[in-house]
Amino acid sequence: MTDPNGLTAGEVEIPTGDLRIPAYRAKPGSGASFPTILVVQEIFGIHEHIKDLCRRLARIGYLSVAPYLYEREGDVSSLMTIEEIRAKVVSRVPDAQVMRDLDATVDWAAQDGGDISRLAAAGFCWGGRIVWLYAAHNARLKAGAAWYGRLAGATTALQPKNPVDIAGDLQAPVIGLYGGRDAGIPLDTVEQMRRALQTANKPDNIHVYPEAQHGFNANYRPAYDPAAATDAWAKMLAFFHAHGAC
């Protein structure tokens, strides 16, 4: 785990619409005008792994903030299975609401020492899909990183589009980081996304780690793949640097 000493790190609240949502923020302990990164949660919410990722990013100079994007729909920490989390909470979270809450988080970060002219987003699992959508939503975003986020599949009235549907609307480049053995994200959907990007004349920055599984960056899971995680992390940071989000 990343040592918080020397950082300003902890729980904060983000005003958005009709309420204040909890978030975890980490940034260097001194200075200002930090490049800013939205850390978009796994399906499991803001747990210690996500907080640790925020601290890792703060160590290299980012103001990193992870808003709790299920605040209106419920707490998933006591739910036992992914199926329960999806049915009881995640299925009820509107994409449009998530976009508004992320916009509010960017505005909040600008008042907390963040330089939002150097704005990035990194999302993991559930958050990987959200990063693709956010790159089509917010023109202020310089670059995104989608870690094993769903690309295609069933839609609903609350979640009406998948990344493959909005490839032509991307306003910022996204690096996609996927596992070749991801049981939940078939490789044919990765190829579908590649084709959608090509058709839209958008850059294809998707990287597939052939032996990696879903969640290969999550060091608390059996699927953790240190080699793939290390390489993907370096690729993400280089991508942000190349696109002015550092």
| pLDDT tens digits, one per residue of 219-228 | 999 999 999 9
Walk me through the domains of the chain, giving residue ranges and CATH numbers: 7-242 (3.40.50.1820)
Q: CA-CA-CA-CA torsion for 208, 173, 135, 184, nearest 10 degrees?
A: -10
| pLDDT tens digits, one per residue of 61-112 | 999 999 999 999 988 988 888 999 999 999 999 999 999 999 999 999 999 9
Q: 164-188 burial by CB neighbour count: b if 16+ within 10 A, else e? A: bbbbeebebbbbbbbbeebeebeee
| pLDDT tens digits, one per residue of 200-216 | 999 999 999 999 999 99
| pLDDT tens digits, one per residue of 127-144 | 999 999 999 999 999 999
Which pLDDT score is estimated for 135? 98
Catalytic residues: 125, 182, 214
Which pLDDT score is estimated for 80? 81
Interhelix angle 95-110/126-137, rounded to 10 degrees, is 70
